[in-house]
Structure 1
């Protein structure tokens, strides 16, 4: 049974039993600050479990895309660890509880295939229950008929579920399938969890945690408002059972990727004779890592994540690079993603057809990241070669752990490659030292994450306001001012009845014309006027759906709950905001017109007169391309394209060709904004002009990189665009007058000046070299003699200290010579020492002289070395120390 069919049967079973099918949320956990990615099927339902929001249904079912990375190093080693997985879930919000949840799971798992079930043998299924949950055990035995000997009681670590942070939790009952004696010993899941594979978890969500320390150590603050059901059936695990394969890497959605990696590398899969993944050959593990990580990368990019050096983007980058590293360790050194990602697309598109439509964008990011990493490997190889040479020059046979860590942390060079390439050159690597530094880094990261991790945001006070007063009558699209009543005031998160002059509070009205920040558009500015108060609006947000919160400063008087007020948006602000937001859509369409459909927006921000737009593109735009994009945008403005707004179901909007911002969540009914019909058609909740000409004009001001395969373009609109162009005109006028050149000849005249300046700089450099040479000859002639070694010392020269030291040293010829140059800058002293061959033959080395001067610190080679970081007042002492040590070594002391 194919994985897509397992998914279909699961949803059909629960829909038949009164559950509403809810689409998967995008992988980025945008609405939960504690999570980078959705890591469980119930995450999007947390507000319903906590009673912070009223669920629109009593029963729901979903197949949620999930990512878990804490066990990333275990991927491929066991059959239980995968980075990307799909969690089939059924949920009850205060409706049914234990007995029906268990019955529904059992009916689907053991139901006949021809009747829509999975057809599992009930005699091979084991159940676990929480250690004191007599009720669950009784249901399994009395209602389902499972023998008591196949019902196992387990403790907190196994059978009490939470999100790992304060929030909803509860005991659970898990289902395990006995795969047979070839997978391990008998005795149930407590004996062996490879033979007995967990495939379903019924969580009886009834408690709220106030503190979470470990899986065995947490505090329960009390009961949830209602008893709920949260179940999870691992789609990949069920597929592996039904397809009779050893592990999740061999199901139909993963194995073809693995097979392609086998074809590319020529490495045989299934080297181990054991059916237990944890005992597999290293090559098998690497092949599984490739298959898992390529599929994960496909799904993450598909949901709008792009490679970067922080947050979600860093996780994606690490996953993609682990795949590249793994296939390289199997001997394939060419770009592999163009071979592997199309296979992953074909595997996953039966369940997620949008991957097929969006593959050009997805592949662009993936292939670009692989190319960048292969370049990193080249750079890292050069640095590693230098580190190996230095280690050998010093007589060492072990590359220091610090150097291996630097390669990994600074250059992204994997430790596996360091070990492999160091061994090829006859060196071992200080792995314990490397692991210790990695552990320190992880500890710091873990402490930082723990410091940021808090309970699920408490929105109770907002929910109370919403439930007590109903949704805010939001009229931002229709008007710029409205009469309203104050329905609530929050100060420091607590409800108050009034606010006086000087206070900054959150103000809630029954009706508002203010636009709340969303979709990249900045919130409106304006005023609220009461009977005895003047109020400035600082910010506008939606803390929960359908409730508008105004962050305000009371500039005079006092405002109180129940008072009538007049809310007025600054009209000039709104005009500028409309121009900028419509300008964003026009610029996006212009980019796609000039660059092609793969230049898709990945993020944006706009405020009155200014906009920035991030888009997928792998190289910087030329000056001509920027001009073409700007021309296309202003042509649309000049043609005065009409701007139209339509409301339609989300599925219909996608068929209509409306573009959506990746990673955003949308309601079932969406707002589509068109500019020029199909020329620009996007899902958007922002404010817009009525006709394109009202944008005024658009001027591109900057274009830059914001990450691998991602560019950012910035522009100004309306009066700000006019002012920007006026400043540019004034600058051109001033340059034209200053150079005495017509505007049309200005570029050539400036180019000629730049060339002349570079020529002059080159001549000056040559003269400086000659002067330095003459000065060096004089200094060598007057050098101090230290037991047959000439010594020159200089303090704070005008020339570059290193370059000067080498130039003087080379003037000594066959005569032994040492040069020390000290410089002071920013309150610190630095030192460069250069030693020629003749002096080194007498035992004098630059690195030893520097280490002597700095008390053991400093670095470099025998010929040139340097150090620094001491107070500037020590500069003369450094020069004296070098001279003293030179004399001592030269005399054999």
Structure 2
């Protein structure tokens, strides 16, 4: 049975049980605490945690997922992969254990011709939470599983929670017995290689608090609505139904593995035994197959390679795949051979990978080319490091290996391989320790940023009484009533002059920040009070919360108020937001449809727009984009908004932002019909001429494969151009030329300055050369080593000191000699020390001396035994640092 047939059969079965089929959400999670959709239940978290009211009681899905926490284990076991598909069925307060458990058994064991998966019942084992007698009884009495094939498991494996206070509950897992050739008897508790988990049923029934770990928490009560959240691993079931050894050999992954083996002239043997001589190659082939598929799916969902966040994960996947192929002996580009194979394997389930393949391939192939260049530059640096390490008779240091990895993107496997070929060991343990430190720092940073499940209880309570009605599409001023005043997260009865509070109204014209548009500001007034609105946010869907400060009087809860938006600021924000859509359309017109939106921000008079593009824009291209935008403004195109269902909007061709979650009903903003058509909940001008004008400020990179343009609109655009005109006029007066001749005059002036700088540099070098002849006579004897320790005063940089020190070392001849030259550049001390061969033979090291001197200067430094450089922060310590060098040589 093909993988997409398994998915279809899953959906058909649960749709027949009254579940609403829900399409897979994007791999880009809408949950701010998650980079990716890591489980099938993630899109349903708002419903499972009661943050939002679900639009259906029962749902089923086959969800795309990405997990990279165990990326180093990929290929080594059947249990680890990065991209996977989770089949799920969900109940939001409708049915519970007594229904979910029989559903699972029925689907797994029913014959193929009756819509099931036809698994032999005698090969299925079940685990339940060790205190969940109810689940055990259902499995035993209602389903008929023999009690000897039901095992009790503790909290570590069979209890679900978010890891924070909130909903939780026991789990029940279903395992498939692969047979005695895969391990020992005794069920899942004995061997999870033989007994492989295929389905996990979560019974979300309790409220927990005082959570200190996965297993340490307090159950404080039952949930008012008990939910079901289950997940079956599609790849694991496919492995069983297709009769293959592991998930890498299923129909959606194996074709890439076979193509990789063909390119590498290797034979794949399916071994999982580390002692098998084929194991290393097999693991690498499995890594390639897994990572190529994951990269294909991530790019199809809008992720592009970068050095942070999701983009970094994608970059790592691509580079690990390329690296694995290199270790298999293929050093040329491989993605043009492998990615189309993955496309063909996945298009049956996800047609977008075929229809969007041109864009996907362009991004992936560019990243591989970049990495191959990285390998080339890293190889040069590695060869230098190997040469230095061999000369010093040491292994390649952990710091050097880490720098190769962190700075050059050079994989440790390649470092180990190439250093080994040169007969040099690598401090791999030290490298792993440095990697662990970096990972721990990253985890700590991520933890501090995690806020997706903050305590929103007070807002949920308010939402339960009704949503905030937004009237701002049609009016900028209107009446409302204060539903709540919050101070420090708690409801209060009133707010007095000077107090900063959060206010929830029953209806508001104030736009809450969303979709890249900044929030409105303005006033809330009433009988005896004036309140200034500073910001508006939506902590949960359906509720607008006004951050405000009471300027006059006292605001009581339940007061009748008049809410008035700052009209000028709103209009300027609408100009910017419509301008953002115009820039997007202009980019598509000039660059093509591949210039997809990656994010935007607009506020009064200003916009920025991020888009997918692999190279900088020329000045001519920027001018062309600006011209297209201003022609659209001049043509006074109508700006229309329509509300329709999501499918109709997509059929109409409305563009959506990758990673955004849209409801079943959406708002479409059109500029001159199809010229620009996007899903958008923001506010806009009603015709483009009301924008006035648009001026691009510049364009820059915001990560690999992503660019950003910024612009002013309306009066801000006029003021910017007026300021530039005044600047040009001032320069014309200063240089006494008409404005059209300014470029030539500035170029000529710069050429003169460059010539003068070269002359100054020549004179400075001549002075240093002349000083060198004099300085040779200042050398002193320090226990048999001639030492020159000189303060050169103000210098242009370290190169001045280096040149003088090496010149002096040469002038001192072959007798043991050391030269220490210090100086100040930009208010900071620098020191350079050079030692000749004879001095080094007497245990004098320039590197050690620089470390000593730099410590006195309040900094650090280092280098090789023959030459080294350092610096610090205390210029006044230069004399003491130079004295320390001479003393150290004397007392060696």
Report the TM range for the smaller structure's normalisation: over 0.9
Shift of 1:697: 0.8
Per-residue displacement from partner, 1:662-716 (whole Å, max 9, x unpaired)? 1111011111111122221111111111111111111110111110111111111
Tell me the residue number matched to 1:386: 384
Q: Contact (CA 8 Å) 1:77, 1:280: kept in 2 or not?
A: no
CA 1:82–1:787 in 2, change beyond 3 Å: closer, same or farther?
closer
Once the two structures are superposed, the pairs formed by residues 259-278 of structure 1 within 5 Å of their partners are 259-270=258-269, 272=271
1:621 to 617, 624, 634: 617
The C-alpha deviation readout for 1:42-83, integer Å capped at 9, x for no partner, is: 223233333333222221111222222222221111111111
Cα shift at 1:564: 1.3
What residue number does 1:66 align with?
65
Q: Show CA shifts across 1:784-839 (max 9, x none).
A: 45677654322142333223322333444567643211235788754211234565
**Residue number among 648, 653, 658 corresponding to 2:649 in the alignment:** 653
Contact 2:52/2:541 (8 A) holds in 1: no
Structure 2 Cα separation of the partners of residues 458 and 129 of structure 1: 30
Match of 1:860 among 859, 863, 869: 863
Instruction: State how far apart, in whole Å, the 1-side matches of 2:212 and 2:66 are.
Output: 22
- Counterpart-to-counterpart distance in 1, 2:248 and 2:36: 22
Partner of 1:6: 6
Aligned to 2:363: 365
Superposed CA deviations along residues 847-885 of structure 1, whole A, max 9, x for unmatched, are 354456568985222332233448545422332233345
Partner of 2:16: 16
Contact between 1:247 and 1:277, CA under 8 Å: does it hold in 2?
no
What is the aligned partner in structure 1 of residue 435 from structure 2?
A: 438
CA distance in 1, matches of 2:272, 2:508: 69
CA contact (8 A) 2:829 2:874 kept: yes
Q: Distance in 2 between matches of 1:392 and 1:323?
A: 31
Matches within 5 A, 1:398-797: 398-453=395-450, 456-468=453-465, 470-784=466-780, 790-797=786-793
Q: How does 1:26-105 map to 2 (within 5 A)?
A: 26-31=26-31, 33-105=32-104
- Secondary structure (helix, strand or coil) at the match of 2:26 reads coil
> How many angstroms does 1:281 deviate by?
0.4
In structure 2, what is the Cα distance between the partners aligned to 1:204 and 1:27? 25
Aligned to 2:297: 299
Query: CA–CA distance in 2 between the matches of 1:671 and 1:57?
Result: 22
Inter-partner Cα distance in structure 2 for 1:582 and 1:3 = 44
Give the match's secondary structure for 1:399: coil
In the alignment, the residues of structure 2 paired with residue 536 and residue 166 of structure 1 have an alpha-carbon distance, to the nearest angstrom, of 35
Question: Cα 1:358–1:497, aligned 2, differ >3 Å: closer, same or farther?
Answer: farther
- Counterparts of 1:625 and 1:23 in 2: how far apart (Å)? 39
- Residues 301-334 of structure 1, C-alpha deviations (whole Å, 9 max, x = no match): 3223333333333333322222222222112222
Decide whether the 8 Å contact of 1:79 with 1:277 is kept in 2. Answer: no
1:199-348 matches, within 5 Å, as 199-270=198-269, 272=271, 281-348=279-346
- TM-score, with normalisation over the residues of structure 2? 0.94
1:637 shift after superposition: 1.4
- For 2:888 and 2:191, how far apart are their aligned partners in 1? 68
The Cα offsets for residues 331-387 of structure 1, whole Å up to 9 and x where unpaired, read as 222222232222222222322223333333333332333233323323322332232
* Structure 1 residue 479: Cα displacement: 1.0
Aligned residues: 885
Question: How many angstroms does 1:215 deviate by?
Answer: 3.9
Alignment CA distance shift 1:34-1:116 (3 Å): same
Find the aligned partners of 2:15 and 2:480 in 1 and give their Cα distance: 43
Say if 1:855 and 1:19 are closer, same or farther in 2 by CA, change over 3 A: closer
872, 883, 887: which is aligned to 2:886? 883
**CA pair 401-765 structure 1, distance change in 2 beyond 3 A:** same
For residues 724 and 393 of structure 1, the distance between their equivalents in structure 2, rounded to whole angstroms, comes to 60
Partner SS for 2:702: strand
Post-superposition shift, 1:658?
A: 1.2
Indicate if the aligned counterparts of 2:835 and 2:866 stay in contact, CA closer than 8 A. yes
C-alpha spacing 1:218/1:386, structure 2 compared with 1 (3 Å): farther
CA-CA distance at 1:502 after TM superposition: 0.9
Alpha-carbon shift at residue 614 of structure 1 (Å)? 0.6
- C-alpha contact 2:40 2:88 (8 A) present in aligned 1: yes
The secondary structure found in structure 1 opposite 2:598 is: strand
Change (3 A) 1:228 1:354: same
Instruction: Give the superposition deviation at 1:452.
Output: 4.9
Q: Is 695-704 or 832-841 further displaced after alignment?
A: 832-841
**1:35-184, aligned counterparts within 5 Å?**
35-184=34-183
Flag the 1:727–1:430 CA change in 2: closer, same or farther, 3 A.
same
CA distance in 2, matches of 1:131, 1:90: 24
C-alpha contact 1:795 1:823 (8 A) present in aligned 2? yes
SS at match of 2:152: strand
Q: Structure 1 residues 277, 553: closer, same or farther in 2, change over 3 A? A: farther
The DSSP-based 3-state class of the residue aligned with 1:797 is: strand
SS in 2 for 1:883: helix
Distance 1:694 1:773, change over 3 A: same
Equivalent in the alignment of 1:353 = 351
2:794 touches 2:823 (CA, 8 Å); kept in 1? no
Q: After the TM superposition, which of the residue ranges 417-426 and 638-647 deviates more from structure 2?
A: 638-647
| 2:176 match: secondary structure | strand
Maintained 8 Å contact 1:166/1:455:
no
Change (3 A) 1:569 1:278: farther
Distance of aligned partners of 1:228 and 1:100 in 2 relative to their CA distance in 1, 3 Å threshold: same
1:822 match: 822
- Partner SS state of residue 641, structure 2: strand
Unaligned stretches of 5+ residues in structure 1: none
Structure 1 Cα separation of the partners of residues 699 and 838 of structure 2 = 55
Structure 2 Cα separation of the partners of residues 421 and 527 of structure 1: 68
Structure 2 CA distance, aligned partners of 1:718 and 1:791? 69
Deviations 1:608-643 (A, max 9, x none): 110001111111111111111111111211222221
Distance in 2, Cα, partners of 1:798 & 1:450:
47
**Partner SS state of residue 270, structure 1:** coil
Give the whole-Å Cα distance in 1 for the aligned partners of 2:599 and 2:77: 38
Q: Distance in 2 between matches of 1:758 and 1:312?
A: 44
Shift in Å at residue 606 of structure 1? 0.3
- Other structure's SS at 1:686 match: coil
Quote the offset at 1:451 in angstroms. 4.8
